[in-house]
Amino acid sequence: MYPNCPKCNSSYTYEDDDLFVCPECAHEWLQNASEEEEEVAVVRDANGNVLQDGDAITIIKDLKVKGSSAPLKQGTKVKSIRLVDGDHNIDCKIDGFGAMQLKSEFVKKL
């Protein structure tokens, strides 16, 4: 079902890419943008606190690091995280390790 034309109220409208088109008066208009908005997933730390970009966190357990013989130690502090989509939902930089991705369940907001 397409919405009626907002100009002439025709119901013979159709969809053309991201526009609706009215064949009767040639009016074109944008689809309701809200339908395409992505849902922003809420990321929570191990205690259930909501994390946001720029937060500082601490790691709550030793984590193995791919390509490194040393683990990330429990208690390591990380400044200004960035939330990303995916299994590892925190992007950050850690001194001595460089760019890392962490799981929010293994961190605690400071």
Question: Between 22 and 61, how does the x/- string for binding to Zn ion read (CB under 5 A)?
Answer: x-xx-x----------------------------------
Among 17-25, 29-37, 49-57, 102-110, the segment contacting Zn ion (CB under 5 A): 17-25
Tell me the closest approach of the beta carbon of residue 101 to Zn ion, in angstroms: 50
Alpha carbon distance 103, 107 (integer Å): 7
- Concatenated DSSP letters of 16-31: ETTEEE-TTT--EEE-
Q: Is 4 in the site for Zn ion (CB under 5 A)?
A: no
- Least Cα distance to 71 among 110, 41, 42, 100 occurs for 100
Choosing from 2, 3, 4, 8, the residue that interacts with Zn ion (CB under 5 A) is 8
